[in-house]
Copies of this chain bind each other. A is one copy, B any other.
């Protein structure tokens, strides 16, 4: 009775797909005159199969244009061979570079990549949890979701890497990767002050992100070290338009600074645009620096002095951390920190561009 039931079940499956759609392993087996186990073995090139049998099966696979169902395989194996990445916004050049590095490294390891932009949506948490149900591992960038969601995903056994997100007590057991901008940040601010500018404004919102906060700290630190008067930070969004708007007010105001240290390159672009529109020469009348070294930076006029972030490398290393967890069964949390470097171009007042390591 049992045998009869089972073979009837299988028969229907094979028959159904024999007619329409893509062929299943049952069809290939029938076509080659073997069992599905043998087809599976041949298909996975794994176990020992006699040469003549293998050839028969391979021919059947070719004739039927058989492709195994990744879904069925995933269900049987309990894994996806896919990993994901969550970012707040793809429109910035920063994130695309990270994703590129991530995709490249992941594809090389044979893993598919799923992307999800939260775009500051309200249901971002639900979307991220959904994504987590489709992957073996996940990179979460910045402040896209909160710690509770991260913890939930980790509890489900999904490998997680936090990227450019500050560690705290809730996430200290989760892998993380970030850059260290302190040393380069000090170098940048120092460099600006070395130009003799003693009235420098920081444009950006220190409270907006850990990165911005770190940059503002470097700014404060160097001022304190030299005993210089510290101007309060000039709040600004992180986009070019924000920087431009804020800079117009700043440059036309009563207390125009001699230099601007912007929290990122896009803000710096806005400052330069505002200066030009106001008839202020950069860098002669106003030195400007940025942060990140996005691709545009070197093509601006003047070319932007900034701090370079290894964006593609961040993505690549994040993929590598995931790979270690998934394929090499690492369990101890790792926290990687990548160095940044000061890139001196002309917007600070220098003539000849040079690059200094971090």
Contact: B117 with A115, CB < 8 Å? no
List of B residues within 8 angstroms of A133 by Cβ: 67-70
List of B residues within 8 angstroms of A114 by Cβ: 82, 112-115
List of B residues within 8 angstroms of A131 by Cβ: 112
A269 at the interface (CB under 8 A from B): yes
Q: Which listed segment binds B: A29-37, A215-223, A292-300, A332-340?
A: A292-300
Query: 0/1 per residue, A121-150, Cβ < 8 Å to B?
Result: 000000101110110000000000000000
A59 at the interface (CB under 8 A from B): no
Contact: A117 with B100, CB < 8 Å? yes
List of B residues within 8 angstroms of A5 by Cβ: 2, 5
Query: 0/1 per residue, A65-79, Cβ < 8 Å to B?
Result: 101111110110000
List of B residues within 8 angstroms of A75 by Cβ: 69, 71-72, 75
Query: 0/1 per residue, A106-120, Cβ < 8 Å to B?
Result: 010000111111010
Contact: B96 with A90, CB < 8 Å? yes
Contact: B82 with A90, CB < 8 Å? no
List of B residues within 8 angstroms of A103 by Cβ: 90, 115-117
Task: Tell me the bound Cα distance from A134 to B103 in angstroms.
Answer: 16
Q: Which of B2, B21, B156 contacts A157 (CB 8 A)?
A: B21
**A236-257 interface with B by 8 A CB criterion:** none
Q: Which of B22, B97, B112, B115 contacts A134 (CB 8 A)?
A: B112
Contact: A67 with B113, CB < 8 Å? no
- State how many angstroms separate the Cβ of A138 from the closest Cβ of chain B: 12
Task: Tell me the bound Cα distance from A300 to B269 in angstroms.
Answer: 11
Q: Which of B115, B296, B301 contacts A113 (CB 8 A)?
A: B115
Output the nearest chain B residue to A132 by Cβ-Cβ distance. Answer: B67
The answer to whether residues A104 and B80 also contact, given A75-B72, A112-B131, A152-B65 and a CB cut-off of 8 A, is no
Contact: B99 with A90, CB < 8 Å? yes
List of B residues within 8 angstroms of A134 by Cβ: 70-71, 82, 112
A50 at the interface (CB under 8 A from B): no
A273 at the interface (CB under 8 A from B): yes
A93 at the interface (CB under 8 A from B): yes
6 contacts between A and B (CB under 8 A): A22-B156, A65-B152, A69-B75, A70-B130, A75-B75, A113-B115
Q: Which 7 pairs between the two chains have the least Cβ-Cβ distance?
A: A301-B301, A96-B96, A90-B100, A71-B74, A70-B133, A296-B296, A71-B75
